[in-house]
Amino acid sequence: MLPGLEAAELPADAIEVGRITDAWGIKGWFKVLPYSADPEALFSSQSWFLLPTEKGVKTFDGVGLLKVKETKIHSGTVVACGLGIDDRSVADALRGARIFISRSSFPTAQKDEYYWVDLIGLDVVNREGVALGQVRDLLTTGPQTVLVIDQLQDGKLLEIMIPFVAVYIDDVNLSERRILVDWQADY
């Protein structure tokens, strides 16, 4: 295992939130490519679980636990440093590592805010009680986010897209794993 990493197991609720792209400076800092436009989970977690790159040379095996010393934005880029990573060569060896964070350590979402990962797999039902399918994905179209729903109809898998905006979304109930919408099956 590389200096600064401890052997660990990936938590059951681990979510991939980014990737280390390169070393930054000479004191062990590295650049991070977050998978979110708002990388709040990266900033709030003091423990990152790293898996080696999927492509290229693997510099470590298994899951490595990195204790994060500091994370910040510098010139529009997220940069970080970890305990025990004190020089550029070790930071460079982390290039390509995938960053996972335990979902339980994510910051609490505000009222009417949701993490996309929590919406995937929820059942979508309209006001009349008609099941429209399950959320497979979300995508950003610029002005709004859209739910991508898989619907099984007559043995065929269809895709429904519903804008994730208040005019169409009546309720999101994470505990019941259900989204209530003002949308018809034939839209």
Q: Span 132-148, mean pLDDT?
A: 92
What pLDDT was estimated at residue 7? Answer: 96
Q: pTM score, two decimals?
A: 0.80
> Which structural domains are found in the chain, ordered by start?
5-105 (2.40.30.60), 116-181 (2.30.30.240)
Q: Is the pLDDT of residue 145 over 80?
A: yes
d(CA 31, CA 47): 16
Q: Is the pLDDT of residue 148 over 90?
A: yes
Q: Is 52 helix (H, G, I), strand (E, B) or coil?
A: coil
Across the chain, mean pLDDT equals 93
Could you read off the pLDDT of 91-106 as tens digits, one per residue? Answer: 999 999 999 999 998 9
Pairing of strands 5-8, 77-82: unpaired
Residues 105 and 41 sit within 8 Å (Cβ to Cβ): yes
Q: What is the pLDDT of residues 64-93, one digit of tens each?
A: 999 999 999 998 899 999 999 999 999 999
pLDDT band at 56 (very low <50, low <70, confident <90, very high): confident
Please tell me the predicted confidence (pLDDT) of residue 128. 96
CA dist list (Å): 155 to 15, 142, 158:
32, 33, 9
pLDDT score of 164: 96
